[in-house]
Amino acid sequence: MDLAQEPGSIPGKSEIMSYFDPRSGTLDRRVFADQALYDLEMRNIYARAWNFMCHESQIPNAGDYFINYIGEDQVIVVRDKQGEVQVLLNTCRHRGNALCRAEQGNAKSFVCSYHGWNYDLNGDLIGVPGLSSYYRKDFDKSQWGLAKAAQVDHFHGFYFATLDPDTPPLHDYLGEVGRIGLGLLVANGPVEVVDGVQKNVIDCNWKIAVDNLFDWYHVQYSHASAATAGFMDIAAILHPNNQMVMFGQYGHAISGPVIPEKMQAEIDTLSDEQRIALARSAADDVPRPPLRLRAAKELLGPVGVRCIGHPNIFPNLWVSTNGTQLSLRLPRGPFATEIWWFTVLPKEMPEEVKKKHIAFNTHLFGPAGMLEQDDGENWSQSTRASRGVKSRAYRHNISMGLGHDEVLTEGSTVSRVETTISEHAQRWLYTNWMNWMTADSWADIKTNHPAQPKGRV
């Protein structure tokens, strides 16, 4: 048993590169239970990555804001008076107090509740009480504006920000897999995020929650209760032998069911009207989004259009296609994760239908979601057991399907496998996690990120 590492000491690069062994598909549990590693994740992953902020529909007007996080940095995502989206660090430059306490709203400016410094919507410091009297005019406001994210950009109205000026442009960072992921939400036309982001904390490491979204192995067992309660028909959604894993750049991945090529060829012959009629006739008491319309193929490509699995945009944004939602898994120390759920629906959807979708999503995931109740308890116990001195010496097994699948490349810019239920996506996640954690800079990540899988994986 290796107990060499003192608690709290920062592990070296070779140590980190030993945490996941791609040859055996085993993982050191230390990755879930170490404060020093967590601190390194904040610096090497979250501060460098593009982090999802919000959708444009959440902040349509000047002064509209939404509070989010980049790792442990709390940020105000706000539309300024010129209509630009700013991502400002929510910390006053005087003594560091949080400027904005509400989770979302509209503001003319941000006034600090401690001593009253006042910041414009673009972060400029515009008011300092006592500037003439106490400061004796010896103070340059222009030097004390709010800190900002290094880059802000959006893809189809989904806003992201990064703290690193060297992060590649959002479009390139997302790559084909990230663009398919968000594309799945907009494939049938313009969307909006409905009011009310559901938030709760689960006592688990954030990576356990990310691993789970790729995991179609647990569905039949862990979610048997949801099936028994009549909430869902597992056989109808599982498609165990029609599964696809796409290996996206920088650790993005998609894992889960895929429409077989032959079936897609039949769908391709249908008009949009026929697709909508088919989707309606297939609907149970919850109206599903219509089958993807013809234009979706152009947006998603011939492989992406067949995807009905789960994309994750590295590190922590899950595009849930079950009920068209986005889920952020925000790290809160090694042992806790704040889970946020955004429901994304077509703008044109009639209000009555919208209500049904919202009710369905609320029963699916989030604090009242049947599936998240099942999963959350398992994630907590997996994390809990990683803390034990003896328990953590036993590596996780992530070997399912290792060495059994041939990589396909046609029709897409990234590698994929089409196979049965597997753990390829989890192995890709940890292979990339090690790369991010040991890279010195973005230049290093760009040069040395794991190559697209080839041959047999």
Binding stretches for ligand FES (CB under 6 A): 92, 94-95, 97, 112, 114-117
Token duo for residue 18:
């030993």
Q: Which is nearer to ligand FES, 92 or 152 (CB)?
A: 92
Q: Which is nearer to Fe ion, 75 or 208 (CB)?
A: 208
Cβ count within 10 A of residue 415: 20
Q: Which is nearer to ligand FES, 57 or 97 (CB)?
A: 97
> Taking the complex as a whole, how short is the minimal distance between the CB of residue 154 and Fe ion, in angstroms?
29
375 makes contact, choosing from ligand FES, Fe ion, none, with CB < 5 to 8 Å by partner type, with Fe ion
Which residues ranging from 357 to 416 are in contact with Fe ion (CB under 5 A)? 371, 375
> Taking the complex as a whole, how short is the minimal distance between the CB of residue 144 and ligand FES, in angstroms?
10
Q: Which is nearer to Fe ion, 327 or 435 (CB)?
A: 327
Q: Which is nearer to Fe ion, 153 or 203 (CB)?
A: 203
> Taking the complex as a whole, how short is the minimal distance between the CB of residue 89 and ligand FES, in angstroms?
13
Q: Which is nearer to ligand FES, 114 or 221 (CB)?
A: 114
> Taking the complex as a whole, how short is the minimal distance between the CB of residue 333 and ligand FES, in angstroms?
25
Q: Which is nearer to ligand FES, 115 or 456 (CB)?
A: 115
> Taking the complex as a whole, how short is the minimal distance between the CB of residue 277 and Fe ion, in angstroms?
32
94 makes contact, choosing from ligand FES, Fe ion, none, with CB < 5 to 8 Å by partner type, with ligand FES
> Taking the complex as a whole, how short is the minimal distance between the CB of residue 371 and Fe ion, in angstroms?
5
Query: Does residue 176 belong to the site contacting Fe ion (CB under 5 A)?
Result: no
46 makes contact, choosing from Fe ion, ligand FES, none, with CB < 5 to 8 Å by partner type, with none
SS (H, E, C) the chain: CCCCCCCCCCCCHHHHHCCEECCCCEECHHHHCCHHHHHHHHHHHHCCCCEEEEEHHHCCCCCEEEEEEECCEEEEEEECCCCCEEEEECCCCCCCCCCCCCCEEECCCEECCCCCCEECCCCCEEECCCCCCCCCCCCCHHHCCCCECCEEEEECCEEEEECCCCCCCHHHHHHHHHHHHHHHHHCCCCEEECCCCEEEEECCCHHHHHHHHHCCCCHHHHCHHHHHCCCCCHHHHHCCCCEEEEECHHHCEEEEEECCHHHHHHHHCCCHHHHHHHHHHHCCCCCCCCCCCCHHHHHHHHHHCCECCEEEECCCEEEECCCCEEEEEEECCCCCEEEEEEEEEECCCCHHHHHHHHHHHHHHCCCCCHHHHHHHHHHHHHHHHCCCCCHHHCCEECCCCCCCCECECCCCCCCEEEECCCCHHHHHHHHHHHHHHHCCCHHHHHHHCCCCCCCEC
> Taking the complex as a whole, how short is the minimal distance between the CB of residue 98 and ligand FES, in angstroms?
9
Residue nearest to Fe ion (CB): 375
The residues with which 176 forms a beta bridge, in sequence order, are none
Q: Which is nearer to ligand FES, 32 or 117 (CB)?
A: 117
> Taking the complex as a whole, how short is the minimal distance between the CB of residue 127 and ligand FES, in angstroms?
10
Contact positions vs Fe ion (CB under 5 A) = 371, 375
